[in-house]
């Protein structure tokens, strides 16, 4: 069966972290690679058949699905479209977690995202109070982000998703923390935090961090 990505802090999420750590080194990477592309039934479809909420039925009827994986292919996931937003984050936490000048995130409702069958569960790290980041327990690829500040959302590293999405990036956020050695010359809005609070990139949605995270430089 498909393994849904946890949405709670502690509880199921903590158990997934332990299972991910215990799974480190197990399995055959070639076997993981051979499982790509298999047809599976989304859990939202099963719930709809069993008498689901209107929101779950709406998701089940949406056939547009994004697929992605970590570097080694051990953690593979799918996410029902649409996305909530896509944006570039320049905060210190994201830069350090990914070892990059900035990170492009795609925001989804957490219920739209699942780990595929026979894939490893990601391990979770609490990067600041109320915020956690997921990574592959085998190859270490940073993958997901969740925060209590945005309950019900899962933020997915855009570079892990294959192909195109329904949205392109709409803004740079926490731009006051951008690195001086990279010139960003595109025409997207370059937003900065105000009074320690993150400024929303688009449609009132902030792509990264709890209140303390993303403004910790």
The whole-number pLDDT of residue 206 equals 42
Question: Is 59 part of a structural domain of the chain?
Answer: yes
Total domain count, the chain: 1
Q: pLDDT digit string (tens) for 185-199?
A: 999 999 998 644 443
The whole-number pLDDT of residue 54 equals 62
> Do residues 136 and 124 make contact, with C-beta atoms less than 8 angstroms apart?
no
Q: How confident is the model at residue 25 (pLDDT cuts 50, 70, 90)?
A: very low
State the Cα–Cα distance between residues 212 and 89, nearest whole angstrom.
Answer: 15
State the Cα–Cα distance between residues 113 and 6, nearest whole angstrom.
Answer: 9
> Do residues 17 and 6 make contact, with C-beta atoms less than 8 angstroms apart?
no
Stretch (H or E) spanning 60: helix 54-61
Q: How confident is the model at residue 149 (pLDDT cuts 50, 70, 90)?
A: confident
Question: Is 198 part of a structural domain of the chain?
Answer: no
- Look up the CATH number of the domain holding residue 17: 2.170.150.70
Question: Is 205 part of a structural domain of the chain?
Answer: no
Q: Nearest-CA neighbor of 129 among 143, 107, 148?
A: 148
Residues β-bridged to residue 133? 125, 145
Question: Is 48 part of a structural domain of the chain?
Answer: yes
| Strand ranges (E), the chain | 3-4, 65-69, 76-80, 85-89, 103-109, 113-115, 123-128, 131-135, 142-147, 153-157, 172-173
Tokens coding 211: 């209140």
Half-sphere exposure for 159 (CA within 13 Å, toward CB): 11
The average confidence (pLDDT) of the chain is: 75
Expressed as residue numbers, the domain containing 116 is 3-177
Question: Is 199 part of a structural domain of the chain?
Answer: no
Q: pLDDT digit string (tens) for 29-84?
A: 343 333 333 333 334 434 444 566 665 555 555 559 999 999 999 999 999 999 99
Tokens coding 201: 């990139």
Question: Is 163 part of a structural domain of the chain?
Answer: yes
> Do residues 3 and 115 make contact, with C-beta atoms less than 8 angstroms apart?
yes
The whole-number pLDDT of residue 61 equals 54
């Amino acid at each position: 069966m498909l393994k849904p990505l946890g949405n709670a802090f502690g509880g199921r999420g903590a158990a997934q972290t332990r299972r991910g750590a215990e799974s480190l080194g197990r399995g055959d990477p070639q076997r993981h690679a051979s499982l790509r592309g298999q047809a599976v039934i989304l859990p939202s479809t099963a719930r709809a058949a069993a008498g689901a909420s209107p929101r779950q039925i709406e998701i089940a009827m949406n056939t547009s699905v994004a697929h992605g994986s970590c570097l080694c292919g051990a953690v593979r996931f799918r996410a029902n479209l649409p996305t909530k937003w896509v944006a570039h984050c320049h905060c210190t936490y994201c830069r350090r977690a990914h070892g990059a000048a900035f990170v492009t995130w795609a925001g989804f409702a957490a219920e739209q995202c699942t780990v595929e069958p026979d894939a490893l569960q990601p391990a979770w790290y609490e990067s600041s109070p109320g915020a956690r980041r997921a990574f592959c327990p085998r190859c270490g690829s940073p993958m997901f982000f969740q925060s209590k500040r945005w309950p019900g959302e899962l933020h997915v590293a855009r570079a892990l998703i294959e192909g195109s999405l329904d949205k392109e990036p709409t803004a740079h956020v926490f731009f006051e923390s951008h690195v001086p050695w990279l010139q960003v010359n595109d025409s997207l809005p370059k937003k900065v935090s105000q009074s320690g609070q993150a400024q929303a990139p688009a449609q009132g949605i902030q792509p990264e961090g709890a209140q303390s995270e993303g403004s910790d430089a």
